[in-house]
Amino acid sequence: MSQELQTVCYRVQLKADSLDSVYEWSRELNGRQPEALQTLEEEGIFLESVFLERTDTGNYLIYYMKMRDPKKAAEIFAASKHPIDEYHRNFQRATWEKGERLELLLDLDRMKLNL
């Protein structure tokens, strides 16, 4: 049975002087893509992209994702024993100041045609 995917976007304010850790995290996850993709599959996430936004007020990560159920994905991630998820949780604690879910205004998605 097909289930509609939800599109979500989060803006995470980074702690001051955390860019070195952000780039290290990016290199680490890019180098461990098979492991990261496995955890995304378990969480029901089909697409995850992360962008760095630099502003006069600070630096932010922009998370863009397509998933089945954001709440369930967060629960699975929080309970995960995968080493890559533990690495990511440590990264969050060390570098994230606060985050917010952004309001979705438009979602034109041709990928839905292939599900």
pLDDT tens digits for range 31-50: 999 999 999 999 999 999 99
Number of other CB atoms surrounding residue 99 within 10 Å: 15
Residue 73: in which H helix or E strand, if any? Answer: helix 70-79
Q: What is the pTM assigned to this prediction?
A: 0.89
Please, are residues 88 and 63 in contact by the beta-carbon 8 Å criterion? Answer: no
Confidence check: pLDDT of 73 > 90: yes
Q: How confident is the model at residue 1 (pLDDT cuts 50, 70, 90)?
A: very low
Confidence check: pLDDT of 110 > 90: no
Q: Quick one: pLDDT at residue 27?
A: 98
CATH class of 6-102: alpha beta
Q: What's the mean pLDDT in 81-110?
A: 96
Please, are residues 39 and 84 in contact by the beta-carbon 8 Å criterion? Answer: yes
Q: What's the burial of 35, exposed, middle or buried (CB within 10 Å: 0-12/13-18/19+)?
A: middle
